[in-house]
Amino acid sequence: MAPDGLIGPAGHDAPRVLCSKTSDMTGRHGLKTAASPKGFAVAFIRHLGYDSTKSYRESVSKTMIIRREYHFTGIVQGVGFRYRARHAANGMGITGWVRNEWDGSVTMQAQGSGFQLDRLLEAVNGGDYIVIDGIESRDLPLEEHEYGFHVR
Protein backbone atom coordinates (compact mmCIF):
# COMPACT_ATOMS: atom_id res chain seq x y z
CA MET A 1 0.00 0.00 0.00
CA ALA A 2 1.10 3.52 -0.73
CA PRO A 3 1.05 6.22 1.98
CA ASP A 4 -2.29 7.04 3.60
CA GLY A 5 -3.92 3.82 2.37
CA LEU A 6 -3.92 4.70 -1.34
CA ILE A 7 -3.63 1.91 -3.88
CA GLY A 8 0.00 1.32 -4.88
CA PRO A 9 1.60 0.03 -8.10
CA ALA A 10 0.04 -3.41 -7.82
CA GLY A 11 -3.43 -1.87 -8.16
CA HIS A 12 -2.89 -0.03 -11.45
CA ASP A 13 -6.00 -1.47 -13.10
CA ALA A 14 -8.33 -0.43 -10.29
CA PRO A 15 -9.91 3.05 -10.34
CA ARG A 16 -8.22 5.44 -7.93
CA VAL A 17 -9.62 8.51 -6.20
CA LEU A 18 -6.74 10.87 -5.62
CA CYS A 19 -7.86 14.32 -4.56
CA SER A 20 -10.28 16.30 -2.49
CA LYS A 21 -11.33 19.94 -2.67
CA THR A 22 -10.07 22.59 -0.25
CA SER A 23 -9.90 26.37 -0.11
CA ASP A 24 -7.38 28.75 1.44
CA MET A 25 -7.97 31.95 3.38
CA THR A 26 -8.16 34.00 0.16
CA GLY A 27 -11.20 32.01 -0.95
CA ARG A 28 -9.31 30.44 -3.88
CA HIS A 29 -10.17 26.80 -4.28
CA GLY A 30 -7.50 24.22 -4.85
CA LEU A 31 -6.74 20.58 -4.23
CA LYS A 32 -5.73 18.82 -1.08
CA THR A 33 -4.18 15.41 -1.55
CA ALA A 34 -3.35 12.67 0.85
CA ALA A 35 0.16 12.20 -0.56
CA SER A 36 1.31 15.80 -1.12
CA PRO A 37 0.18 19.36 -0.42
CA LYS A 38 1.86 20.53 -3.65
CA GLY A 39 -0.91 19.46 -6.00
CA PHE A 40 -2.60 16.45 -7.44
CA ALA A 41 -0.06 15.75 -10.21
CA VAL A 42 2.80 15.25 -7.76
CA ALA A 43 0.47 13.29 -5.49
CA PHE A 44 -0.56 11.14 -8.43
CA ILE A 45 3.08 10.31 -9.18
CA ARG A 46 3.68 9.47 -5.53
CA HIS A 47 0.42 7.55 -5.44
CA LEU A 48 1.81 5.23 -8.10
CA GLY A 49 4.59 4.30 -5.70
CA TYR A 50 7.41 6.69 -6.55
CA ASP A 51 9.12 8.86 -3.94
CA SER A 52 9.52 12.02 -6.01
CA THR A 53 9.15 13.45 -9.49
CA LYS A 54 12.88 12.99 -10.05
CA SER A 55 12.88 9.29 -9.16
CA TYR A 56 9.79 8.83 -11.34
CA ARG A 57 11.57 10.32 -14.36
CA GLU A 58 14.56 8.13 -13.71
CA SER A 59 12.52 4.96 -13.26
CA VAL A 60 10.20 5.25 -16.27
CA SER A 61 11.56 5.59 -19.78
CA LYS A 62 10.27 8.64 -21.64
CA THR A 63 9.64 6.37 -24.64
CA MET A 64 7.43 3.86 -22.81
CA ILE A 65 3.95 4.63 -24.14
CA ILE A 66 0.89 4.02 -21.98
CA ARG A 67 -2.81 4.81 -22.33
CA ARG A 68 -4.82 5.94 -19.35
CA GLU A 69 -8.43 6.96 -18.83
CA TYR A 70 -9.15 9.71 -16.30
CA HIS A 71 -12.51 10.67 -14.83
CA PHE A 72 -12.56 14.18 -13.31
CA THR A 73 -15.23 15.51 -10.96
CA GLY A 74 -15.74 19.01 -9.60
CA ILE A 75 -16.15 22.27 -11.50
CA VAL A 76 -14.87 20.85 -14.77
CA GLN A 77 -17.58 21.76 -17.29
CA GLY A 78 -18.09 25.25 -18.70
CA VAL A 79 -14.65 26.40 -17.55
CA GLY A 80 -12.46 25.54 -20.57
CA PHE A 81 -11.29 22.18 -19.23
CA ARG A 82 -11.58 20.26 -22.52
CA TYR A 83 -9.94 22.97 -24.60
CA ARG A 84 -7.12 23.40 -22.11
CA ALA A 85 -6.58 19.62 -22.20
CA ARG A 86 -6.61 19.57 -26.01
CA HIS A 87 -4.16 22.46 -26.29
CA ALA A 88 -1.74 20.97 -23.74
CA ALA A 89 -1.96 17.44 -25.15
CA ASN A 90 -1.39 18.52 -28.75
CA GLY A 91 1.58 20.64 -27.65
CA MET A 92 3.13 17.62 -25.91
CA GLY A 93 2.45 15.09 -28.66
CA ILE A 94 -0.14 13.17 -26.62
CA THR A 95 -2.97 11.44 -28.47
CA GLY A 96 -6.48 10.76 -27.21
CA TRP A 97 -9.72 12.57 -26.48
CA VAL A 98 -11.70 14.39 -23.81
CA ARG A 99 -15.48 14.73 -23.40
CA ASN A 100 -18.14 16.07 -21.03
CA GLU A 101 -20.37 13.54 -19.31
CA TRP A 102 -24.08 13.97 -18.53
CA ASP A 103 -23.42 14.06 -14.76
CA GLY A 104 -21.18 17.17 -14.92
CA SER A 105 -17.91 15.25 -14.90
CA VAL A 106 -15.27 14.97 -17.66
CA THR A 107 -13.70 11.79 -19.08
CA MET A 108 -10.32 11.88 -20.81
CA GLN A 109 -8.29 9.16 -22.48
CA ALA A 110 -4.67 10.06 -23.11
CA GLN A 111 -1.81 8.11 -24.67
CA GLY A 112 1.84 9.06 -24.25
CA SER A 113 4.76 8.47 -21.93
CA GLY A 114 4.15 8.50 -18.20
CA PHE A 115 6.11 11.73 -18.01
CA GLN A 116 3.92 13.36 -20.68
CA LEU A 117 0.70 12.28 -18.96
CA ASP A 118 1.90 13.70 -15.66
CA ARG A 119 2.67 17.04 -17.35
CA LEU A 120 -0.79 16.97 -18.96
CA LEU A 121 -2.42 16.61 -15.53
CA GLU A 122 -0.40 19.56 -14.26
CA ALA A 123 -1.45 21.68 -17.25
CA VAL A 124 -5.13 20.84 -16.87
CA ASN A 125 -5.04 21.72 -13.18
CA GLY A 126 -3.49 25.13 -14.00
CA GLY A 127 -6.76 26.68 -15.18
CA ASP A 128 -8.07 29.59 -13.09
CA TYR A 129 -11.69 28.42 -13.06
CA ILE A 130 -11.13 24.66 -13.03
CA VAL A 131 -11.71 23.07 -9.61
CA ILE A 132 -11.01 19.34 -9.60
CA ASP A 133 -12.59 17.60 -6.61
CA GLY A 134 -11.61 14.07 -7.60
CA ILE A 135 -9.81 11.97 -10.18
CA GLU A 136 -10.21 8.30 -10.96
CA SER A 137 -7.90 6.61 -13.44
CA ARG A 138 -7.31 3.25 -15.04
CA ASP A 139 -4.83 1.90 -17.56
CA LEU A 140 -6.10 0.87 -21.01
CA PRO A 141 -4.68 -1.00 -24.01
CA LEU A 142 -2.85 1.20 -26.53
CA GLU A 143 -4.64 2.59 -29.60
CA GLU A 144 -2.19 2.01 -32.47
CA HIS A 145 -3.67 4.23 -35.18
CA GLU A 146 -4.67 7.33 -33.26
CA TYR A 147 -3.54 10.76 -34.36
CA GLY A 148 -3.88 13.97 -32.36
CA PHE A 149 -5.95 14.82 -29.33
CA HIS A 150 -9.61 15.74 -29.86
CA VAL A 151 -12.58 17.16 -27.98
CA ARG A 152 -15.62 14.89 -28.31
% pLDDT > 70, the chain: 59
pLDDT per position as a tens digit, 110-139 = 999 999 999 999 999 887 888 999 999 999
Indicate which residues carry an active-site annotation.
82, 100
What pTM did the predictor assign? 0.61
User: What pLDDT shows up at residue 108?
Assistant: 97
| Domain parsing of the chain, residue ranges | 15-139
Backbone φ, ψ for residue 96 (5° rounding): 140, -155
Q: What is the CATH number of domain 15-139?
A: 3.30.70.100
Residue 94 pLDDT greater than 60, yes or no? yes
Beta carbons of 121 and 105 less than 8 angstroms apart: no
- Residue at 138: amino acid letter: R
